[in-house]
Amino acid sequence: MKIASFNINGVKARIQALTDWLAATDADLVVLQEIKSVDEGFPREHFQDLGWQVETHGQKGFNGVAILSRMPLEDVIRGLPGDDTDEQARYIEATVVGAQAVRIAGLYLPNGNPAPGPKYDYKLAWMERLRLRAAELLASEMPVVLLGDFNIIPEPRDAATPEAWTEDALFRPESRAAFRAIVNQGWTDAVRIRDPWSTRGPFTFWDYQAGAWNRDNGIRIDHLLLSPQAADLMIETGVDRDARAGEKPSDHVPVWVRLAA
């Protein structure tokens, strides 16, 4: 079972880029972030006609997450538990049924800028809610993949120019500590574990401005965290870097993991 995460930066604006990538990938399930569409406006039939089951948690013009699956989905949950007043569409869960069931938790974590400030406070509060939910998922003792755009640069090697991010919400010490508090529950960072000694990258995001892509001035903020049971099933993982070189691309590229499930 191949599971991927892709911040598409607007599903309608990138529908051709997404369609082309889906045609080229052998992924069985894809979690999308920043669909920027209400549920009713998502081009559901387009993807269903291509063989995908579609589940969305959308929001007009901002945020929004979705799951595309070639395998049956069960027990879909929309919204991160812990704050009934939170109206931002950033989290979706489902169980995908292959050779064995795997719980998928897809997220689009708040950016948090400018920091400090209310948006940063929201980011840290959201991460604390995520930590609590992640602990519950681990307690289930089933294979779980927690994946998406975390808007966190975990380490200096995850940025081409880490000094440029020192005061950014993506790299502030509080943000990184909150991310570590989740990982240290017992999750495996799948993309990092494939090459733990790398001193630079791999990157998953390049800004549209200032020639960032051509200069490879990127950052790694899209992550796949595996529960111990999922980590035991991991076969390989990767970053589809070439997707950024296509026509009208997202500023993110897909990251993926293949499980023996």
> What is the reported pLDDT for 255?
98
For residue 53, pLDDT over 90 is answered with: yes
Annotated catalytic residues are 108, 149, 252
Cis (ω within 30 of 0) for the bond into 116?
Answer: yes
Confidence of residue 74 (pLDDT cuts 50, 70, 90): very high
The arithmetic mean of pLDDT across residues 53-67, rounded, is 97
pLDDT greater than 90 at residue 108: yes
Number of domains in the chain: 1
> Residue 139 pLDDT > 90, yes or no?
yes
Q: Which long-range contacts (CB under 8 A, 24 or more apart) does 75-83 make?
A: 80/107, 80/126, 80/129, 80/130, 80/133, 81/129, 81/132, 81/133, 82/129, 82/132, 82/133, 83/125, 83/129
Q: Is the pLDDT of residue 195 over 90?
A: no
> CATH code at 49?
3.60.10.10
Residue at 115: amino acid letter: A
What global pTM score does this model have? 0.97
Annotated binding-site members for Mg(2+):
7, 34, 149, 151, 251-252
pLDDT in tens, 163-184: 999 999 999 999 999 999 999 9
Three-class secondary structure of residue 220 per DSSP: coil
Binding positions: 7, 34, 149, 151, 251-252
Q: Are strands 65-69 and 53-57 parallel, antiparallel or unpaired?
A: antiparallel
- Which structural domain range is residue 214 located in? 2-259
